[in-house]
Amino acid sequence: MISALKKIKVLAFDVDGVLTDGKIIIDSNGVETKAFDVQDGFGIVFAQKAGLKTALISARFCDVVRHRAEDLKMDRVFTGVYPKTGAYEQMLQDFKVSDSEVCFVADDLADLVVLKRVGFAVAVANAVAEVKQAAHYVTSRRGGEGAAREVIEMVLKAQGKWGPELYEH
- The 10s digit of each residue's pLDDT in 136-164 is 999 999 999 999 999 999 999 999 999 88
pTM for this entry: 0.95
Judge contact between 9 and 97, C-beta under 8 A.
yes
pLDDT at position 169: 59
How large is the average pLDDT for residues 73-100?
Answer: 97
Q: pLDDT digits over 10-36, tens only?
A: 999 999 999 999 999 999 999 999 999
* pLDDT tens profile 110-124: 999 999 999 999 999
Give the single-character DSSP code of 152.
H
Of 145, 146, 110, residue with least CA distance to 128: 110
Tell me the domains of the chain and their CATH numbers: 2-24+31-162 (3.40.50.1000)
Q: Which of 41, 24, 5, 21 has the alpha carbon at shortest distance from 118?
A: 5
Which residue pairs, CB below 8 angstroms and at least 24 apart, start in 78-84? 79/15, 81/57, 82/110, 83/110, 83/113, 84/57, 84/59, 84/110, 84/111, 84/113, 84/114
Work out the pLDDT band at 134, boundaries 50, 70, 90.
very high
The pLDDT of residue 166: 72
Q: Is 74 a residue whose pLDDT tops 90?
A: yes
